[in-house]
Amino acid sequence: MELKRVVITGLGALTPLGHDVNSFWSALKIGASGAVPITKFDTTQFKTTFACELKNYQALDYFDRKEARKTDPFTQYALIAAEEAIKDAQLQFEGLDRHRCGVIWSSGNGGIYTFDQELKAYAAEGRPRFSPFFVPKILIDTPSGAISIKHGLKGANYCPVSACASSTTALIDAFNYIRLDKADLMVTGGSEAPITESGIGGFGAMKALSTRNDSPQTASRPFDKDRDGFVMGEGASALILESLEHALARGANIYGEIVGGGMTADAYHATATHPEGEGALRGMQLALDEAGISAQTLDYINAHATSTSVGDLSELVAIRNLLGEDTKPWIGATKSMSGHLLGAAGALEATICTLSVFHDLLPPTINIESLDPAVPSDLKITPAKALPGTVDYAMSNTFGFGGHNATIIIKKYV
CB neighbours of residue 96 within 10 Å? 17
Who contacts 121 (Cβ-Cβ below 8 Å, separation ≥6)?
129
304 is catalytic: yes
Who contacts 355 (Cβ-Cβ below 8 Å, separation ≥6)?
11, 21, 25, 255, 361
Cβ proximity of 338 and 35 under 8 Å: no
19 is catalytic: no
Phi, psi of 353 (to 5 degrees): -65, -40
Distance CA(154)–CA(152), nearest Å, equals 6
The beta strand positions in 115-197, using DSSP E, are 157-158, 185-192
The partner residues of 302 in beta bridges, in order of sequence, read 332, 396
Distance CA(73)–CA(110), nearest Å, equals 9
Distance CA(283)–CA(291), nearest Å, equals 12
Name the nearest CA neighbour of 346 among 113, 128, 108: 108
Name the nearest CA neighbour of 34 among 216, 268, 251: 216
* Helices vs strands, H then E, count in the chain: 13, 15
| Residue 276 CA from chain centroid, whole number | 24
Cβ proximity of 165 and 346 under 8 Å: yes
- The residue from 246, 340, 353, 404 that is catalytic is 340
- The residue from 274, 304, 353, 404 that is catalytic is 304
Q: Could you give the strand order of the β-sheet that contains 157-158, starting from the edge strand earlier in sequence?
A: 157-158, 101-106, 185-192, 235-243, 6-14, 256-265, 404-411, 393-400, 300-302, 330-332, 380-381
> Euclidean distance between the first and final Cα of the chain, in Å?
23
- The residue from 52, 101, 159, 164 that is catalytic is 164
Cβ proximity of 235 and 77 under 8 Å: yes
269 is catalytic: no
Instruction: Return the ∠ at Cα 349 (arms to 334 and 113), rounded to 5°.
Output: 95
Distance CA(125)–CA(134), nearest Å, equals 17
Q: What residues act catalytically?
A: 164, 304, 340
